[in-house]
C-alpha cells in the first residue's frame, strides 16, 4: 500500500519506523523521513563543519540510511540511527572541523555563520566570545565535543545523544558536564554589574 493512502486513511502521519518499513516497497516513502529530519541534521552539521560540507554530508547520511534501510530494526529511534550515521561521517572530517575552530579562534570570524545575525547585540556577544569558544571546543576530546555539540547545536536530548553515541545515559551526562566545565573555565566571566 503506498504511504500516501496509508496516511490519508488513518488521518495520522506514520511514525518513522513505519515509514522505513513502507519505503522497502515504496521508496518514495523515505522522502518523508528526509523532510522530517534533514533540516535539523543540516543545521547541526553546518555548525560543526561549515556550509559546504553540510550539504554533502546530509545527502550522504540519507543515501547511506536509504541503502541500509532494510537493516533498520526499529530498536533505536530512526533519528538516533540517522544521527549515528552522520556522526561517523563527521568523524571522517575531524581534521576539517579542528582547522575550522582554529581559524575561528585566530580571526574571530565564524566560518559556519551565514549573513547577519538577527540582533546586533547577539552578534557582538558572539564575536567577543567566539574565538575563545572555538579554542575551548578545539581543546575538547572528540567524544566530549560530540556530546556537547549534539546538545547545543543539534538540540538533542540526553537520551537521544546517548542513542546516537551508543553510550549509557550516565556517561553522556558526565561527558557534557565535563565539557561544560572546561568551556566555562576557558571563557571569560560575564560582567553583570551593568
CATH code at position 177: 1.10.10.10
Position 167 in a domain: yes
Position 144 in a domain: yes
Domain range enclosing 149: 140-187
What's the distance, CA 16 to chain centroid?
18
Percent of the chain with pLDDT over 70: 77
Position 57 in a domain: no
Position 169 in a domain: yes
Position 182 in a domain: yes
Position 179 in a domain: yes
Reported pTM:
0.59
Give the pLDDT score at 25.
93
Position 85 in a domain: no
pLDDT digits (tens, 9 = 90+) for 79-106: 999 999 999 998 888 766 677 777 777 7
Q: Backbone phi, then psi, for 11, in 5-degree steps? A: 80, -5
Mean pLDDT in residue range 110-125 = 50
Position 166 in a domain: yes
For the chain, the domain total comes to 1
Amino acid at each position: 500500500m503506498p504511504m500516501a493512502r496509508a496516511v490519508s486513511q488513518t488521518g495520522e502521519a506514520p511514525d518513522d519506523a513505519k515509514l522505513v518499513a513502507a519505503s522497502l516497497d515504496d521508496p518514495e516513502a523515505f522522502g518523508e523521513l528526509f523532510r522530517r529530519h534533514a533540516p535539523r541534521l543540516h543545521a547541526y552539521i553546518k555548525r560543526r563543519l561549515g556550509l559546504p560540507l553540510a550539504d554533502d554530508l546530509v545527502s550522504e547520511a540519507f543515501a547511506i540510511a536509504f541503502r541500509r534501510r532494510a537493516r533498520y530494526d526499529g530498536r533505536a529511534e530512526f533519528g538516533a540511527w540517522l544521527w549515528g550515521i552522520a556522526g561517523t561521517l563527521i568523524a571522517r572530517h575531524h581534521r576539517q572541523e579542528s582547522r575550522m575552530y582554529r581559524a575561528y579562534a585566530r580571526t574571530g570570524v565564524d566560518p559556519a555563520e551565514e549573513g547577519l545575525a538577527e540582533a546586533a547585540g547577539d552578534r557582538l556577544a558572539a564575536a567577543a566570545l567566539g574565538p575563545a569558544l572555538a579554542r575551548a571546543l578545539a581543546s575538547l576530546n572528540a567524544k566530549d565535543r560530540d556530546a556537547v555539540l549534539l546538545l547545543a547545536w543539534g538540540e538533542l536530548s540526553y537520551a537521544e545523544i546517548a542513542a546516537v553515541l551508543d553510550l549509557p545515559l550516565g556517561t553522556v551526562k558526565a561527558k557534557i558536564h565535563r565539557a561544560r566545565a572546561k568551556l566555562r573555565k576557558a571563557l571569560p566571566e560575564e560582567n553583570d554589574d551593568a
